């Protein structure tokens, strides 16, 4: 609303003064110099870095670089070089010492094995005279171990039957093989005229093979299965692909040696301490060993322990575990050396006398060999 005075419009000049001399654009009036020109702000001159500053900085860098070169080529270089040379010399000496120590230990081991080999016949001779022994080779057994153990048993005077080779189908989880194994086990027991009696974790084929190897129809029983029944049951297992051997089974024996080895892990990237599948298979061999032990006068499981740092599973390690099915079986963890083969013979003798033990060089062994008597 426009202000009015006495009913008349205020002059334009008076109105502008009333509004504070604002110009027509709404901005406050600009200060003016006496000549009527606007008073401008004073322009500032930007700061310029003196060229001498650059010279000083460059000189400081060059001086620092020179000092570093002098020190690096002088006392510091001598100290660092001497220290590194000393460390390298020390490491080289330690390496040479370790190599020499390893060579000495290797010579000692070779000498021990040579002595054991030379005295093996004296240690085992006559220990198993007139005793019948059967040898079972599990899938992981090394051929040279089986052969060497057989030779040592014969040196001890034992009559050794043909080796029974158990195939991997014995512990396979394949549906068809599992069905075949179950059928063969049941048929073999029927041919042997034996009722099934297997603990948890064991199979009927375990019991059937135990009867075939020992001839005894029941655990702790003197009753013998007729040779014809044993032969028929053997053919049943062999035709099913569970065992390998001749057309006839080995003679019934009161002593049995099972030779095996660590079961390789099935998964290379397994995060478990022991591969589950390898552990399951190793458990199958422990169950078989247990059934054989319940029928025989003496049973020994000879197998190496699994290498440290692997996920492999050894049936020997499982058999030595307290509460294992095979807790009354004697074990030997070094079947590949003369001392281990001597331990197999002496352990069979100990088993015949009602004793048992774990022998070899492993941490869980009771000692290298059974006590000589």
Task: Compute how many other C-beta atoms are within 10 angstroms of the C-beta atom of residue 172.
Answer: 17
Percent of the chain with pLDDT over 90: 58
pLDDT tens track for 294-340: 999 999 999 999 998 889 999 999 999 988 888 889 999 999 999 99
Q: DSSP states of 164-211 as a string? A: EEEPGGGG---HHHHHHHHHHHHHHHHHTT------TT--HHHHHHHH
Does this model's pTM top 0.75?
A: no
% the chain with pLDDT above 70: 82
Q: What is the phi/psi pair of residue 126, to 5°?
A: 75, 0
pLDDT at 339: 93
The span from the CA of 282 to the CA of 290, in Å, is: 13
Handedness of CA 63, 66, 68, 74 (dihedral sign): negative
Please say if the pLDDT value at position 8 is more than 60. no
CA distances from 45 to 48, 52, 237 (A): 9, 20, 108
């Amino acid at each position: 609303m426009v202000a009015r005075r006495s009913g008349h419009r205020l002059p334009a000049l008076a109105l502008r003064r009333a509004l504070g001399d604002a110009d027509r654009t709404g901005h406050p009036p600009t200060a003016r110099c006496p000549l009527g020109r606007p008073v401008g702000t004073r322009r500032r001159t930007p700061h310029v870095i003196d060229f001498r500053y650059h010279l000083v900085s460059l000189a400081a860098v060059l001086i620092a670089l020179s000092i570093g070169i002098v020190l690096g080529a002088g006392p510091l270089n001598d100290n660092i070089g001497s220290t590194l040379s000393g460390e390298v010399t020390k490491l080289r000496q330690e390496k040479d010492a370790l190599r020499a120590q390893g060579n000495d230990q290797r010579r000692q081991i070779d000498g021990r094995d040579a002595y054991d080999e030379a005295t093996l016949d004296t240690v085992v001779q006559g220990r198993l005279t007139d005793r019948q022994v059967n040898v079972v080779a599990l899938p992981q057994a090394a051929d040279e171990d089986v052969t060497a153990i057989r030779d040592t048993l014969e040196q001890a005077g034992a009559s050794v039957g043909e080796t029974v080779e158990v195939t991997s189908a014995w512990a396979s989880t394949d549906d068809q093989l599992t069905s075949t194994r179950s059928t063969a086990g049941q048929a073999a027991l029927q041919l042997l005229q034996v009722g099934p009696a297997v603990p948890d974790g064991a199979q009927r084929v375990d019991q059937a093979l135990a009867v075939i190897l020992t001839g005894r129809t029941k655990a702790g029983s003197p009753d013998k299965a007729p040779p014809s029944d044993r032969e028929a049951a053997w053919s049943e297992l062999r035709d099913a692909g569970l065992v390998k051997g001749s057309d006839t089974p080995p003679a019934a024996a009161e002593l049995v040696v099972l030779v095996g080895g660590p079961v390789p892990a099935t998964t290379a990237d397994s995060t478990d301490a022991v591969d589950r599948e390898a552990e399951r298979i190793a458990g199958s061999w422990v169950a078989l060993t247990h059934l054989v032990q319940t029928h025989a006068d003496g049973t020994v499981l000879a197998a190496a322990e699994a290498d440290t740092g692997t996920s492999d599973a050894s049936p020997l390690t499982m058999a030595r575990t307290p509460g294992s099915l095979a807790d009354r079986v004697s074990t030997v963890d070094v079947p590949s050396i003369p001392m281990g083969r001597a331990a197999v013979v002496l352990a069979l003798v100990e088993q015949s006398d009602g004793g048992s033990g774990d022998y070899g060089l492993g941490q869980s062994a009771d000692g290298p060999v059974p006590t000589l008597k």
